[in-house]
Amino acid sequence: MPSRKFADGEVVMGRWPGSVLYYEVQVTSYDDVAHLYTVKYKDGTELALKESDIRSQSSFKHRKSQSSSSSPSRRSSSRSRSRSRSPGRPAKGRRRSASQSREHKDDKKKAIQETSLALPVLALFKRSENNTKRYNGEPESTEKNDTSCVILEQKLKPDLEINRVLEQYSLRSRKDDKKKEDIYSVKKTFVAVKPIEKVPTKTKELEFGGRIGTFMLVFLLPATVLYLLLMCKQDDPSLLNFPPLPALESLWEGRVFGVFLLWFFLQAVFYLLPIGKVVEGLPLSSGRKLQYRINGFYAFILTAAAIGVLLYFQFELHYVYDHFMQLAVSATAFSLALSIYLYVRSLKAPEEELAPGGNSGYIIYDFFTGHELNPRIGSFDLKYFCELRPGLIGWVVINLAMLLAEMKIHNLSVPSLSMILVNSFQLLYVVDALWNEEAILTTMDITHDGFGFMLAFGDLVWVPFVYSLQAYYLVGHPTSITWPAAAAITVLNCIGYYIFRSANSQKNNFRRNPADPKLANLKFIPTATGKGLLVTGWWGFVRHPNYLGDIIMALAWSLPCGFNHILPYFYVIYFICLLVHREARDEHHCKQKYGLAWERYCQRVPYRIFPYIY
């Protein structure tokens, strides 16, 4: 096994992935197995690099000194060659005479600033040229030109300089900024032509309490579902009134499991129907883009039609209510089996297809968080399918079953106002998610988290069986609310929905098409990755406005259940915890991705979710 060349803490020059540029970086660790160095750029970005992409600083200093000793004629020719490739290059014919040295120095400083964000992009074009070596900062090269000089100085400039560069490009309205189109088109090209080639490394920072935490969660999550459903069945579901444990045999029935399988595979058939457009997801670390069929809303319509037919033929949908616990157990068993399958198949997955957060090497951790990022059987994307179909549509069907059960059990000719509100609000949420299905492709679940127990259980058990808790509660605990109260709760839900939808759409549109004229009045901070961070509009209000909207809606879903018990408020309490934790995870990832730009964003937008509170 070859020994490592660079030590932890050593400051070296690291190649920017996918480009020919070298930047000053610090080695933070070394992976003996993958033979990769984790290095930290000055803007805080951390990447894993191969040894061949790292050079010692001395080799660059050596080169720089060679440059300065080169003949003016050579310098002049290389200057004219490279000028067309870099907007930051000095004007043609400018010579480095002593009398002009000050002016040249200023120009160069300006050039450094102007190219700071665009250089990695320009390098992509340079790379394909046959004279690449002349511009790539290779230490062994003896060729010199002003471009390399600019690049070298840029690499060596202190943090303060980077800060100034960011300052210069930050917080400009795209409407007013004349240069913005240039900057922007370059950024877009960067993203479209080639994403940063991140070599997947082992996950070092473990989340969810690491191995012990994830091990416990595998048991705790199903136990919580069981507990909540048992509590809901009680006449007095007070916290201190612990429900008696049911007989094990009462929790399982083969036929109910069959019903669950039927449901799952029916949704799979709907997913496979060749209706709806096919779109590309965000680029993977390999640069590849996966294709996704957008037909969730059609699946919902087809499901609604199928349920309509069942009801027409007098099928008793409150079967779902009667066998609710058994259905939840069936879904749990299925999600566990699916997670085992996912983990086993992930062991054979190529390294670049593993999830950035689920590749720790610890079985339980990777099993829980998901080892493989996008497990597919042919073109059937298991994670994408489970995210929005069986669980989410299932949630609406369960709610409807609860509504019918309420009417039947309490001999009502119409459902209660509370039940109507809960059903309507949650129906709106699900229809919205399916209508905007494409937006899921830019969420953490798809782009960062692997598909393991966490998402399989979350999608197939937690969402349908816990999120429908209010409707389940209302069947056993009728609650009447007044019309004014119902109106106030509806307004609250609409406010939450408006914030949630407009914030998500704003970010999604910005990510998909940053040049969208509808977003022209928004300001953003550019980042070294080529993506911008919105600092006005919803994303300038708080750092996660979509979470704020979601939480407001969650409260509106619980309020129709009255104030007799805390149980129907479980959802909003849990949801605040989930989103606060999720926000912290996202914050951490964004800091790694965007470094200094993210810090500037946080300074500009200090509150995370709740304005003036958190």
| Positions that interact with ligand NDP (CB under 6 A) | 442-445, 500, 504, 507, 510-511, 531, 533-534, 539, 544, 546-547, 550, 582, 586, 589-590, 601
Taking the complex as a whole, the smallest distance from the CB of residue 277 to ligand NDP amounts, in Å, to 21
Residues sharing a CB contact under 8 Å with residue 309, sequence separation 6 or more, in sequence order: none
8 Å CB contact between 574 and 558: no
For the record, the structure tokens of 343 come out as 């983990």
Taking the complex as a whole, the smallest distance from the CB of residue 215 to ligand NDP amounts, in Å, to 23
Residue with smaller CB distance to ligand NDP, 112 or 221: 221
Taking the complex as a whole, the smallest distance from the CB of residue 591 to ligand NDP amounts, in Å, to 10
Length of the chain: 614
Residue with smaller CB distance to ligand NDP, 362 or 385: 385
**DSSP codes joined into one string, 398-410:** HHHHHHHHHHHHT
Taking the complex as a whole, the smallest distance from the CB of residue 35 to ligand NDP amounts, in Å, to 28
Taking the complex as a whole, the smallest distance from the CB of residue 554 to ligand NDP amounts, in Å, to 8
Smallest CA-to-CA distance from 365 within 247, 450, 432 is with 450
Taking the complex as a whole, the smallest distance from the CB of residue 202 to ligand NDP amounts, in Å, to 21
Taking the complex as a whole, the smallest distance from the CB of residue 159 to ligand NDP amounts, in Å, to 22
Residue with smaller CB distance to ligand NDP, 372 or 449: 449
Other C-beta atoms closer than 10 Å to the C-beta of 584 total 12
Residue with smaller CB distance to ligand NDP, 363 or 492: 492
Give the C-alpha distances (Å, rounded to integers) separating 606 from 166, 556, 598: 18, 26, 11
For the record, the structure tokens of 554 come out as 């969650």
Residue with smaller CB distance to ligand NDP, 353 or 459: 459
**DSSP codes joined into one string, 542-596:** -S-HHHHHHHHHHHHHHGGG-SS-SGGGHHHHHHHHHHHHHHHHHHHHHHHHHTH
Residue with smaller CB distance to ligand NDP, 112 or 597: 597
Residue with smaller CB distance to ligand NDP, 60 or 571: 571
Residue with smaller CB distance to ligand NDP, 329 or 554: 554
Residue with smaller CB distance to ligand NDP, 155 or 593: 593
8 Å CB contact between 358 and 449: yes
Strand, helix or coil for residue 432: helix
Smallest CA-to-CA distance from 550 within 465, 443, 449, 478 is with 443
Taking the complex as a whole, the smallest distance from the CB of residue 578 to ligand NDP amounts, in Å, to 6
Other C-beta atoms closer than 10 Å to the C-beta of 57 total 16
Taking the complex as a whole, the smallest distance from the CB of residue 549 to ligand NDP amounts, in Å, to 7
d(CA 539, CA 545): 6
For the record, the structure tokens of 156 come out as 């060596």
Residue with smaller CB distance to ligand NDP, 111 or 499: 499
Taking the complex as a whole, the smallest distance from the CB of residue 262 to ligand NDP amounts, in Å, to 25
Residue with smaller CB distance to ligand NDP, 370 or 415: 370
Placement of tokens 């969420």 in the chain: 443
Residue with smaller CB distance to ligand NDP, 310 or 444: 444
Give the amino acid at 359. N
Residue nearest to ligand NDP (CB): 443
Residue with smaller CB distance to ligand NDP, 415 or 545: 545
Smallest CA-to-CA distance from 433 within 470, 486, 481, 396 is with 396
Give the C-alpha distances (Å, rounded to integers) separating 220 from 122, 339, 508: 51, 16, 34
For the record, the structure tokens of 295 come out as 């037909």
Determine which helix (DSSP H) or strand (DSSP E) holds 11, and give its type and residue range: strand 11-15
Give the amino acid at 22. Y
d(CA 196, CA 53): 14
8 Å CB contact between 200 and 359: yes
Residue with smaller CB distance to ligand NDP, 86 or 374: 374
Other C-beta atoms closer than 10 Å to the C-beta of 350 total 9
> Which residues, in sequence order, are bridge partners of residue 12?
25
d(CA 372, CA 367): 10
Burial class (CB in 10 A: 0-12, 13-18, 19+), 518: exposed
Taking the complex as a whole, the smallest distance from the CB of residue 327 to ligand NDP amounts, in Å, to 19
Taking the complex as a whole, the smallest distance from the CB of residue 510 to ligand NDP amounts, in Å, to 6
Task: Name the DSSP class of 199.
Answer: P
Residue with smaller CB distance to ligand NDP, 111 or 440: 440
Smallest CA-to-CA distance from 152 within 234, 256, 258, 57 is with 57
Taking the complex as a whole, the smallest distance from the CB of residue 145 to ligand NDP amounts, in Å, to 35
Taking the complex as a whole, the smallest distance from the CB of residue 49 to ligand NDP amounts, in Å, to 21
Give the E-state strand segments of 368-466 in sequence order: 376-377, 380-381
Quick one: CA torsion of 194, 199, 200, 205, rounded to 10 degrees?
Answer: -110
Taking the complex as a whole, the smallest distance from the CB of residue 539 to ligand NDP amounts, in Å, to 4
